[in-house]
Structure 1
Amino acid sequence: MEQHVFSLEEANALIPKLELIMGRLQQRVAELRRGIDELAQQTGKVAGDLTSSEIIELRPTLRPAIVEVEQLLGEIEECGGEFKGLDLGLVDFPTEINGEPAVWCWQFGEKEIGYWHSLHEGFAGRQPLSERRARATYLQ
């Protein structure tokens, strides 16, 4: 299946939905982290070493949070965005800039997309749109 190439307007139109998803995702992950940390203390294991199935087996009350996190990540994917991590709250959207593959880079809390980067640069290579807007031809 061919990947959708987003115009800036298409990607920006998804931000209100993404803000809701990411807000809920952060809440549920915080709940999970607390529960997993408690479980790790009780079992003497390192929290990061516990598998999902171990967590569910030892603490079945965490199952709904795990399921919801998976569903929320699926919703981001269904939008066409690529979830890049919860700590920074990043979602990338495939695009083309000057005929080259790139991504619009949105961070939770930003009201609109203000950055882009090439496929290989990642978050550290984010460039403000304002610097490129005059020179770049990207999909509108």
Structure 2
Amino acid sequence: MFSYYFTLEEANKTLEDLAEEMHVLQELQLKYRELLAVRLHRKQEGFDGSNTKEEKLFMLEARIDFWEFQSRQLIKQLESKSIFVKSIDQGLVDFPAKIDGSPVLLCWKQGESEILHYHGVFETYKKRKKVNYIDE
């Protein structure tokens, strides 16, 4: 099902770097949302036919595209390591693992010092359960 399965120890070792990466993603998302709001406001102002307004809007849209690209690249980089971002806002991340030979997702929420919970592959964060052990 997954290309890689973490042990609890392996997943926990990634958390320091992952916390920094989630912070970067949240900053990128904030900048992206701010620029989208500016773009919406400027579009509502309309165009007066001047090249200056059109050029400013073009530059704004280029910046929006840049922040979106940066975010997607960081998420892709994490996914290439079998780390799955579930919510940037909430800082939710899943790691594939196995319990009793069955695939599960270890779940970590930003701010937690270690991974303490998991949920089934087709379940959500709300269905998480306490980790007792993980197949090695």
TM-score range, shorter chain: 0.7 to 0.9
**What residue ranges of structure 2 are gaps of 5+ in the alignment?**
45-56
- Contact (CA 8 Å) 2:94, 2:106: kept in 1 or not? yes
User: Cα deviations across residues 63-92 of structure 1 (Å, max 9, x unaligned)?
Assistant: 432222122112211221111121221111
Amino acid at match of 1:18: L
Q: What is the alpha-carbon distance in structure 2 between the residues aligned to residue 110 and residue 56 of structure 1?
A: 41
Q: Which runs of 4+ in 1 moved over 3 A?
A: 55-58
**TM-score if structure 2 supplies the norm length?**
0.80
1 CA distance for matches of 2:80 and 2:58? Answer: 26
SS at match of 2:28: helix
Q: Percent identity?
A: 29
- Superposed, which structure 2 residues align to 1:1-140 within 5 Å? 3-44=3-44, 59-129=61-131, 133=132, 137-140=133-136
Q: Which has the larger radius of gyration?
A: 2
Q: Is the 8 A contact 1:115 1:128 kept in 2?
A: yes
Secondary structure of the residue aligned to 1:84 is strand
Secondary structure (helix, strand or coil) at the match of 1:59 reads: helix
Structure 1 stretch 10-19 or stretch 76-85: which is displaced more?
76-85
User: Counterparts of 2:92 and 2:104 in 1: how far apart (Å)?
Assistant: 15
Contact map agreement 1:105 1:117 (CA 8 A) in 2: yes
**Structure 1: 5+ residue stretches without partners:** 45-54
Provide the rounded CA distance (Å) in 2 between the counterparts of 1:122 and 1:39.
34
Q: TM-score, normalised by structure 1?
A: 0.78
Alignment-mate amino acid for residue 80 of structure 2: E
Q: CA deviation at 1:105?
A: 0.4
